[in-house]
Structure 1
């Protein structure tokens, strides 16, 4: 009996010293209401875990002035050739309806409710492209 009383006294005395507190959620991410000082830590943590690398035309940075000039000249020449072919085929008045063939390219031009539709098909690869010129 004496041990039961001592146990009860210990339980009540321990109860007096145990305090509870409310559980409060505090977000870490500043985008969801967290502390703004966590932003840099979250960003650094995400970048450290990121295994992807950017491949943003790194050859462009390593090219010489001569290589860049050559590429620019090639682009201008191709543009001039395509403009000349366009004028020879369609004339100055613009695009006419019909189907046309330029080497391996098959071009179909027709009007639709959206405007003038140009379908381009590469017969070698099967690649297709569509251009819509609104009215």
Structure 2
């Protein structure tokens, strides 16, 4: 019976995906491959000019309120953007309460901004 010599080495696993310890240079390649295989697309309804204008106006009102509150220029009152009702009041301890109500769903979010010592 003939005898032959056999050589073997360890099996070593090297991950490819950088999320699991692979080479970071593989990230873009893997992302492009995944995106090219993705058959789903986000269906966005076409908005009319009026809808776009209303959304832009809402964003401007919210940005203006946010900036003024952050700068300490409290302007108490109720602001109605159509979809949201925003109420800004100063609490007895000096903190600012911002109540945001979605008028379509009735969901309410209350944000308390504490007074920071100067």
TM-score when scaled to structure 1? 0.41
Between structure 1 and structure 2, the one with the greater Rg is 1
Which structure carries more relative contact order (alpha carbon 8 Å, separation 6+)? 2
Q: TM-score under structure 2 normalisation?
A: 0.44
